[in-house]
Amino acid sequence: MESTEQPISLTDDHISQLQSWWTTLSDPWKHSFNEVMLRRSTIDMPGPEELYSIQQCQTLRLAGPTAPYPNMTQELEDLSGIRDLPNLSILIVIFHKLSGITELSSPNQITSLFLHNNQITSLDGLEAMVNLQEIYFNVNQVHSLQPLANLTNLHTVYCNYNLISSLAGIGIQHRPQLKNFICLPNDLLPESEVIMMERETGIRCKKG
């Protein structure tokens, strides 16, 4: 788990802000941060420097208990805990019970997003993630790729094993960067749709 260096000292105001942030977290997220970053099975508030380390993390990997290499014992149902993590660049929340990702609509610096093996039905919330370079949401229940339309920095998209019947949202605007577009298999996706998208955009729809 990567994090910025801890400061030698924290002001009383900063400590109060960190503690207030912790109190806003749900119990599942308190348990997750403690378990993954501090190796503790508790929802108790960590000390000030530990709170600082958590909030300043750059990479956060949360692999649920059914993942091949799990690092936590509970399954999350939302992404509320990632709010107010200003330096977060790589977010991995896999093998959980996420159904939506609207919490990502808040400004963030995330470049790599791993959400595979959840229960996500919609990508709503991604529209403003202009820094995003790669996203993995294979093995979910997503119907539409439209929220990806303006994310032109994407070089990798894994969307296989979803409920996608149209590739609308992926267009010629993605062609300069998008080199790895893994959209097969998707049982509801007609071959004619794949052929048309490839012809119009020059982006190859690959099989995962």
Which two tokens mark 203? 């982006």
Residue 4 has pLDDT above 80, yes or no: no
Query: What's the mean pLDDT in 93-102?
Result: 97
**Top-level class of domain 58-207:** alpha beta
Using CA atoms, how far apart are residues 72 and 35, in angstroms rounded to an integer? 6
**Ramachandran sector of residue 46 (left: φ over 0; alpha: ψ -120 to 50; beta: rest):** beta
- For residue 69, the SS3 value is coil
Q: Map out the domains of the chain as residue ranges.
A: 8-56, 58-207
What is the pLDDT at residue 113?
98
What is the pLDDT at residue 8?
54
Q: How much is the pTM?
A: 0.94
SS3 content of the chain, % helix, strand, coil (to 5): 25, 15, 60
Residue 3 has pLDDT above 50, yes or no: no
What is the pLDDT at residue 1?
46
What is the pLDDT at residue 6?
45
Q: Among 109, 104, 108, 84, which residue's Cα sits nearest to residue 93?
A: 104
The beta strands (E) that lie in 81-202 are given as 90-94, 112-114, 134-136, 156-158, 180-184
User: Residue 66: how many CB atoms within 10 A of its CB?
Assistant: 11
Using CA atoms, how far apart are residues 155 and 174, in angstroms rounded to an integer? 8
Percent of the chain with pLDDT over 70: 96
Which two tokens mark 119? 């229960």
Average pLDDT of the chain? 95
Residue 106 has pLDDT above 60, yes or no: yes
